[in-house]
Amino acid sequence: MILKGFGGRKVAVKRVEIHRVNKIEEEAMLKLNHPNIVRLFHCEKDNDFMYYVLELCDASLNQLFLKSDDPQKYNGPSPCQIEVFRQLATGLAYIHSKKLIHRDIKPHNILIMRRPGKHQEIIIKWADFGLAKSVNEKGYHSWSGVRGTRNWWAPEVLKKLINENNAETKQFWGTVKSDVFVLGLVFGFIFLKGEHLFGSDETEIPMNIIRNDPANMKNIDGELRKYYEDDLLKKMLENDPEKRMKSAEIVKQLECIKNKLTKKEEEFRELCARDSSPDLVGRIKHFIRLGIDVNAKDKKGWNALHYLCKSNSSPNLIDSIQLLIQLRIDVNAKDDARIYLRDNDKISNKNEILKLLDEAILV
């Protein structure tokens, strides 16, 4: 159900039968207030139902990677990978700082929201706190019975809840580090565009997690993996939770990676401005594989498209622009790339490129 209200914005209303109300989820949502967590605006009840008024989001993360002909596929804008990772890690670190563990991390429970306004900023949101639980000062909590989704469990949880007899009645001390491992699985899911890091067969994934065998790690582009695997993914996917990094440490490492990528984005714009070689498309693809933000702008507000149109004369200019459009570069940027194109005397097929830009703007 969607309603208008609450300052003129559209909101989502979740209706739950009174006898099915999860007080843990309600208490967690009321306790949390962060840009990367779905906000609970209001709750009330009648004789039959409890009503929760929540931020309205556009899709869940898994919908981003559905097949193109799937009606549920999300085709809207989304941030670059490093920004998705940063927002997820920041939100999770906040959850842990409030002495809570999520315990049900998976792509279905991560939402994409387009903030209303001219620029439609994209925000990644944590949702579904039905299995959230309080932890002590050291980040531990008592855990009994099966919780969450098998393919999105940390190895210590799988070992306790799958390999032991009478798993439903067993109790052990869990840790917020389990959230960190599963966040690593989500990072891998994004790298692999919807594939699970620990396998493609639903039945083999849990055992691969226990064996610490990320079968699909090899499918992550080598250039991209250099930035994340050794310095981040392996620490998040450490089999021993005592050795696994903390969520706050992930935030710090992602800032370092973001700084490295910012330098690469500067090199990328320079490439688009100066490199007129026949291999321009291949060189652009090299930078894309690193996970840079194609929409990154310099101090003048120019992105790579501006520089291609203003200064480049590569014989593959059209193919290069088409590639950037496919990568959702902002063709409606403040400084109109078409103006720069008209002033570029080195380009002979301006009309064809102008038509390409105009069609992209109309999409």
- List, in order, residues 6 or more apart from 336 with CB less than 8 Å away: none
Q: What DSSP assignment string belongs to 227-251?
A: HHIIIIIHHHT-SSTTTSPPHHHHH
Pick the CATH number of 58-254 from 3.20.20.140, 1.10.510.10, 2.170.8.10, 3.40.50.1220: 1.10.510.10
Q: Is the dihedral of CA 93, 97, 98, 103 positive or negative?
A: positive
User: Average model confidence (pLDDT) for the chain?
Assistant: 86
139: nearest Cα among 108, 178, 167 = 178
Is residue 204 classed as helix, strand or coil in its secondary structure? coil
CB burial of residue 32 (10 Å; 0-12, 13-18, 19+): buried
181: nearest Cα among 108, 254, 103, 125 = 103
Question: What residue spans in the chain does CATH classification 1.10.510.10 cover?
Answer: 58-254
The Cα 255–Cα 338 span in angstroms is 34
Tokens 């070992």 belong to 159
Q: Per-residue pLDDT tens for 277-325?
A: 889 999 999 998 888 999 899 998 889 998 988 888 888 888 998 899 8
Task: Give the CATH superfamily of 261-362.
Answer: Ankyrin repeat-containing domain (1.25.40.20)
Task: Pull the structure tokens for residue 66.
Answer: 């559905």
Question: What residue spans in the chain does CATH classification 1.25.40.20 cover?
Answer: 261-362
The Cα 196–Cα 304 span in angstroms is 32
Q: Per-residue pLDDT tens for 27-57?
A: 888 889 999 999 988 888 888 898 888 899 9
Helices (H), the chain: 23-31, 81-97, 155-161, 177-191, 205-211, 222-228, 234-236, 247-274, 280-289, 304-311, 317-326, 337-343, 350-362
Is residue 13 classed as helix, strand or coil in its secondary structure? strand
The band of 350, judged by pLDDT with boundaries at 50, 70 and 90, is confident
| Average pLDDT of span 75-82 | 87
